[in-house]
A and B are shown apart, each in its own frame.
Chain A
Amino acid sequence: MNRHEVIIIGGGVTGCSIAYHLAARGMKDVAVLERAYLTSGATGRCGAGFRHQWGTKTNCLLAKHAIARLERLAEELDYPGGVEIKQGGYLILAYTPKMEEQFKKNLALQRSLGIDARWVTPREAREIVPFLNTEGLLGATFCAKDGHANPFKVTDAYARAARRLGVKIHTYTEVQDIKIEGSLKTVITSRGTFQAPVVVNAAGGHAAEIGRMVGVDLPVVPERHQILVTEPVEQVLGPMVMSFYHNLYCQQTPHGSFIMGLGDPNEPKEYNVRSSWQFLSQMAQKVVWLLPVLKNVRVVRQWAGVYDMSPDRQPVLGEVPEVPGFYVAAGFSGHGFMIAPMTGQLMAEIILGLPTTLPVDMFSLSRFTTGELFVEPSVV
């Protein structure tokens, strides 16, 4: 029997960040349980981007704080070699008057919060991305501080820092059931039994399954998203190019490879991480239209991962009132990686009963019963 103060289920960037932030605040008797290797779920399969350009105040502030942390994460966590930060901006394309109207609203909000994002004309967009096909383009929004970080390294940096502070990380340890007796939770895994008064569900696409183990109905469903990566070439694309019209994104990493993905509105809500040839074909057709120069770049690999989708595309952060000591950090809906530094900090503050750095009430699970959803308009 392994007895701890806190057990975190899920060794993605969120779980490792929570573990680190708890330990850094003095709660060092923490165990992280991960069913495979660290980042084996959504973290290691994500598009690896971060952006300030959101459509709600909450997300803008979360992103702003989180990106400020990412920018100096290597120093904060003493991680030699860094986490491969690139800040080439995000160029978000507008093709319809409705998009332009929404984006300009978003910009006004962002600018009111001190985020340096701006509207660019198609001509200015071509100055930022010279080979962009601007046919039909009304304009775009651009924030130069948006960018890329390596999810494997960010997670490894948190995991190493957490371990140095005493956190135990158990990989290849799959949670099979949770029993509750009084305030004590017993977590039964493929590699033994763990006990703690506090359990944190950071299981991403598996969060609803973990919730069911304690009788909690989490409205978080897995939804497959597919990605491909190309061979590395010299740096030619500064920003992440994102189009909600085509439902795609494409960014060149500091390594030189292009990572690109496509959202499929008809994707079934199920746990599926298989990749399809249809994706390869559709992705190629769309990206070659938008960024024609990429036709000569070779695809080396494709894969898939799941978003942990919540009804309003916002995470659930906090304690489940019906099960004291059971906390949730899931439902990130495709933007968990970029806000992970703040998720970890806020969750640690919530668990330790400290005042939170940012307001967190809107992330409560109860919003799905009271109907106080706050839908984020800007998600691919």
Chain B
Amino acid sequence: MEDKTIVCRCEDVTLEEIRQAIAGGARTLDEIKRLKRCGMGPCQGRTCRPLIAGELSRITGQDQASLTLPTFRPPVIPLKLGTLARGGAKNEQA
């Protein structure tokens, strides 16, 4: 893959940026995610996670299977706020 290859297509993060994060000291998927936004978009890392794990493993020599995955967070697919508010909009005091 080339430097300009887009690894995270939700957030337009290139391989070069991933390599920069690793060169800057990042050693985990969690650290790379928070500095570069990869995995924070609508697909929540389904596409980029294995690609970045492979690159991190290749550069740092860590066994790919041993890498800790960032927490999988709900919702599983993007949902409209209007759908989630299916009970209706509420003017409710806390």
Contacts and interface: CB of A to CB of B under 8 A. Distances in A.
A332 B28 CA distance: 28
B35 A298 contact: no
Nearest to A258: B81
A263 B87 CA distance: 20
A266 to B, nearest CB: 10
Contact of B74 (A37, A255, A262, A275): A275
Given A255-B37, A295-B80, A297-B80, A40 B73 contact: no
Given A231-B41, A301-B40, A281 B78 contact: no
B92 to A, nearest CB: 6
Tell me what chain B mostly uses at the interface: helix, strand, loop, or mixed.
Answer: loop
Interface stretch (A50-58, A183-191, A242-250, A310-318): A242-250
Contact of A231 (B71, B78, B85): B78
Contact of A285 (B34, B71, B74, B85): B85
Interface string A32-64: 000011111000100000000000000000000
Interface string B16-31: 0000000010001011
Nearest to A264: B94
B65 interface: no
A1 interface: no
B8 to A, nearest CB: 13
Contacts of B75: 280, 299-302
B74 A245 contact: no
B78 A295 contact: no
B91 A136 contact: yes
B81 A262 contact: no
Given A245-B94, A275-B74, A288 B31 contact: no
B14 to A, nearest CB: 14
A281 B73 contact: no
Contacts of A299: 75, 78-81, 84
B84 A44 contact: no
Nearest to A276: B74
A-B interface, 3 closest residue pairs, ranked by CB to CB distance from nearest: A247-B94, A295-B82, A284-B84
Interface of A: 36-40, 44, 135-136, 152-153, 156, 160, 229-231, 245-248, 255, 262-265, 275, 277, 280-290, 292, 294-303
Given A152-B34, A284-B81, A295-B89, 11 more contacts: A37-B28, A39-B34, A40-B30, A245-B94, A246-B94, A284-B84, A286-B91, A287-B81, A288-B82, A292-B89, A302-B75
